């Protein structure tokens, strides 16, 4: 018969064994190692079988019969400190022991046996489970600590790298390295080809290899539209944007794009450091452009004042003196070009003026440019493709719609006011004929030019009234558009389809209107002389409208 002392000695031995195993468990770093020690200890203590171990609501690779249990059933059975019974197939006795890993969280040890263990064994199993919970929580804490240390080290490296980037680019700025220095610094910091482009894609500075060729500047509208869309995407992004094998970061001054820093990255391997270098370089480029603009601001203002005085007809001696101070040659032949834009929200004038100035500079149109209330005046000293100029301005101004009027050439100071009047008249005629956002050259107006140049408008008005008076009165009374319909029909050479398309009406509607025109005016449109006189009269009518516009 076993004595009480023998029983107590056996319990002490088991407790020591439990303590040794617990110490091994607590010192473990790997979750799988901890669970393996727990499984071995549980089977050694009570001769139980591990049915399953549930960690973070996921069954581990220990036991298999318990894995058929629902996690909610296991969690419900393990709510009490000493656990609870569960039903496991082929296990007469099964119990869930909680492994607490935090104040409101626990993992679970599921054991089974052929017979219910003794109360002392169950106490030992419960203690082992609690100790396992402590070990798991400690392992997770150490893992989180190591992860935090790794993150801190990475952040420290990134911080040092960021400081290096800032210091390197700041030195460029302090030493006056300009845009060439910025490009060279980005190249050295990233080990990649780098450069600076203007908003048209022209390369301003390049480092690390051969300078790329100039972009296609053929002036096709679709090319300008594509460039405008890409620029809009770049402007909308807070950081560098990938464009094929390049990363691009936009530099801005007063919310307007002034250039771009480009990093060549065909392997797409540029990381956080390279992007940071590109982003900060764009900031430095913005500062460099702003500084350059500030230095030249007084000169720009002086040129703008000179342009306004020339078109307004200021006294010639004073004008020549101011031009001499600016080193500007007024002896060259010029045209006055007027550009009007359609405002969207009332604050785009600065953007529009910058766009016109940038395009004028690229195309070498002229340097005397002046902004006014709702338009910009250029004194162009070279000929240009004004259609191309128009498309580029709309692209550079991010889609602001504009109209351009080009005055005739002037050979001396006295001719500027006349050329300016012609540019303004070209714009007004453009509106009078219902054409918007186009280019109108005064020298190409044909009969409009002759009519507009007539000093006495009374004869022109009498002629228009003689041929169109009945139609004009009819339109005024009935709110119709018979005069405009007649004008478009005759300008389209009597082509029904073209005229209907221009007027945006159905062909049958056009025919009905022409019938009413014959009835109201009493003129036969089939007679050539009537057609000629009516077309001249409609153009005279439109010219009068343009002349009366403010």
Question: pLDDT-derived band of residue 223, with 50, 70 and 90 as boundaries?
Answer: low
> Which positions ≥6 away from 292 have C-beta within 8 Å?
none
Residue-wise DSSP of 228-257: HHHHHHHHH-SS-EEETTEEEEEEEETTEE
Question: Is pLDDT of 433 > 70?
Answer: no
Question: Is pLDDT of 322 > 80?
Answer: no
**How high is the pLDDT of residue 19?**
45
Give the integer Cα–Cα distance in Å for 44 and 47. 6
What is the C-alpha radius of gyration for the chain, rounded to an integer number of angstroms? 43
Give the integer Cα–Cα distance in Å for 217 and 201. 10
**How high is the pLDDT of residue 319?**
79
**How high is the pLDDT of residue 212?**
77
When the candidates are 3.30.450.40, 3.40.710.10, 1.10.8.60, 3.30.70.870, the CATH number that belongs to 4-145 is 3.30.450.40
* Rounded percentage of the chain residues whose pLDDT exceeds 70: 81
Question: pLDDT-derived band of residue 3, with 50, 70 and 90 as boundaries?
Answer: very low
Question: pLDDT-derived band of residue 85, with 50, 70 and 90 as boundaries?
Answer: very high
Question: Is pLDDT of 216 > 60?
Answer: no
Tell me the per-residue pLDDT of 483-534, one tens digit each, with 9 for 90 and over: 888 888 887 888 888 888 888 888 888 888 888 888 888 888 777 777 777 7
Question: Is pLDDT of 323 > 80?
Answer: no
Q: How high does pLDDT run on average in the chain?
A: 80
Question: pLDDT-derived band of residue 7, with 50, 70 and 90 as boundaries?
Answer: very low
**How high is the pLDDT of residue 197?**
85
Torsion sign, CA atoms 135, 140, 141, 143: positive
Q: What is the CATH number of domain 176-294?
A: 3.30.450.40
Question: pLDDT-derived band of residue 110, with 50, 70 and 90 as boundaries?
Answer: very high
| Every domain of the chain and the residues it spans | 4-145, 176-294, 313-445, 456-548
Tell me the per-residue pLDDT of 356-414, one tens digit each, with 9 for 90 and over: 999 999 999 988 998 887 789 999 998 889 999 999 998 888 878 889 999 889 988 88
Q: Which residue is it, tokens 């089939």?
A: 526
Mean pLDDT of 110-127: 88
| Top mean-pLDDT range of 144-153, 174-183, 411-420 | 411-420
**How high is the pLDDT of residue 318?**
67
**How high is the pLDDT of residue 213?**
67
Half-sphere exposure of 298 (CA within 13 A, CB side): 3
Q: In the structure, how many helices (H) and strands (E) does the chain have?
A: 17, 15
**How high is the pLDDT of residue 17?**
56
Rounded to 5 degrees, φ, ψ at 344 are -100, -45
**How high is the pLDDT of residue 337?**
93
Is the distance from CB of 406 to CB of 441 less than 8 angstroms? yes
| Top mean-pLDDT range of 138-152, 431-445, 457-471 | 138-152
Question: Is pLDDT of 12 > 50?
Answer: no
**How high is the pLDDT of residue 108?**
94
Residue-wise DSSP of 67-120: GGS-HHHHHHHT-STT-EE--BTTBSEEEEEEEEEETTEEEEEEEEESSPPPHH
β-pair partners for 197: 203, 260
Question: Is pLDDT of 354 > 90?
Answer: no
Q: Do 176-294 and 4-145 fall under one CATH topology?
A: yes
Give the integer Cα–Cα distance in Å for 460 and 389. 34
**How high is the pLDDT of residue 143?**
84
Q: Which two tokens stand for residue 415?
A: 């001719």
Mean pLDDT of 5-34: 55
Is the distance from CB of 46 to CB of 117 less than 8 angstroms? yes
**Residues shown for the chain:** 550
Burial (CB count <10 Å: 0-12, 13-18, 19+), residue 460: buried
CATH topology of domain 456-548: Arc Repressor Mutant, subunit A (1.10.10)
β-pair partners for 375: 340
Q: Which residue has the higher pLDDT, 295 or 147?
A: 147
Ranges of beta strands (E only) in 155-230 are: 194-197, 203-207
Mean pLDDT of 99-105: 88
Question: pLDDT-derived band of residue 86, with 50, 70 and 90 as boundaries?
Answer: very high
**How high is the pLDDT of residue 352?**
87
**How high is the pLDDT of residue 8?**
44
Question: pLDDT-derived band of residue 2, with 50, 70 and 90 as boundaries?
Answer: very low
**How high is the pLDDT of residue 37?**
84
Q: According to the CATH classification, is domain 313-445 in 3.30.70.270?
A: yes
Mean pLDDT of 41-66: 85
Which of these ranges, 34-43, 219-228, 366-375, has the smallest mean pLDDT? 219-228
Q: Which residue has the higher pLDDT, 235 or 407?
A: 407
């Amino acid at each position: 018969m076993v004595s009480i002392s023998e029983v107590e000695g056996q319990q002490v031995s088991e407790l020591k064994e439990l303590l040794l195993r617990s110490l091994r468990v607590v010192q473990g770093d790997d979750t799988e190692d901890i669970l393996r020690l727990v499984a071995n200890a549980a089977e050694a203590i009570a001769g139980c079988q591990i049915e399953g171990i549930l960690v973070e609501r996921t069954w581990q690779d220990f036991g298999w019969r318990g894995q058929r249990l629902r996690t909610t059933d296991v969690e419900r059975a393990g709510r009490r400190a000493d656990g609870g019974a569960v039903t496991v197939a082929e296990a007469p006795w099964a119990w869930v022991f909680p492994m607490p890993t935090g104040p409101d969280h626990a993992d679970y040890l599921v054991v089974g046996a052929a017979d219910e263990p003794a109360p002392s064994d169950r106490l030992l199993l419960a203690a082992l489970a609690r100790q396992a919970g402590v070990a798991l929580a400690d392992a997770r804490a150490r893992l989180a600590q190591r992860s935090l240390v790794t993150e801190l080290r990475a952040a420290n490296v990134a911080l040092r790298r960021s400081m290096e980037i800032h210091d390197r680019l700041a030195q460029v700025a302090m030493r006056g390295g300009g845009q060439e220095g910025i490009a060279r610094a980005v190249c050295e910091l990233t080990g990649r080809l780098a450069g600076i482009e203007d908003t048209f894609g022209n390369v301003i500075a390049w480092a690390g290899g051969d300078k790329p060729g100039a972009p296609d500047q053929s002036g096709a509208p679709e090319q300008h539209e594509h460039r405008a869309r890409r620029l809009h995407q770049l402007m909308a992004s807070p950081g560098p944007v990938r464009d094929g094998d390049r990363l691009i970061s936009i530099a801005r001054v007063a919310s307007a794009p002034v250039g771009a820093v480009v990093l060549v990255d065909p392997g797409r391997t540029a990381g956080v450091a390279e992007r940071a270098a590109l982003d900060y370089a764009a900031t430095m480029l913005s500062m460099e452009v702003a500084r350059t603009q500030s230095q030249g601001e007084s000169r720009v203002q002086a040129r703008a004042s000179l342009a306004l005085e020339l078109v307004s007809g200021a006294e010639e001696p004073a004008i020549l003196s101011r031009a001499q101070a600016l080193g500007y040659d007024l002896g060259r032949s010029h045209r006055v070009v007027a550009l009007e834009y359609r405002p969207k929200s009332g604050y785009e004038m600065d953007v529009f003026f910058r766009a016109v100035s940038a395009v004028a500079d690229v195309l070498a149109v002229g340097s005397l440019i002046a902004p006014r209330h709702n338009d910009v005046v250029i004194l162009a000293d070279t000929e240009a493709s004004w259609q191309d100029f128009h498309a580029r301005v709309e692209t550079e101004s991010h889609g602001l719609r504009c109209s351009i009027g080009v005055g005739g050439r002037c050979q001396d100071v006295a001719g500027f006011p006349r050329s300016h009047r012609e540019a303004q008249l070209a714009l007004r005629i453009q509106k009078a004929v219902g054409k918007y956002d186009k280019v109108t050259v005064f020298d190409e107006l044909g009969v409009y030019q002759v009519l507009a140049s007539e000093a006495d408008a009374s004869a022109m008005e009498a002629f228009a009234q003689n041929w169109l008076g009945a139609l004009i009165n009819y339109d005024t009374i009935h709110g119709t558009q018979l005069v405009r319909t007649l004008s478009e029909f005759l300008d389209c050479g009597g082509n029904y389809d073209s005229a209907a398309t221009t007027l945006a009406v159905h062909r049958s509607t056009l025919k009905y209107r022409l019938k009413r025109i014959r009835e109201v005016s009493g003129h036969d449109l089939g007679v050539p002389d009537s057609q000629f006189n009516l077309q001249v009269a409609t153009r005279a009518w439109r010219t009068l409208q343009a002349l009366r516009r403010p």
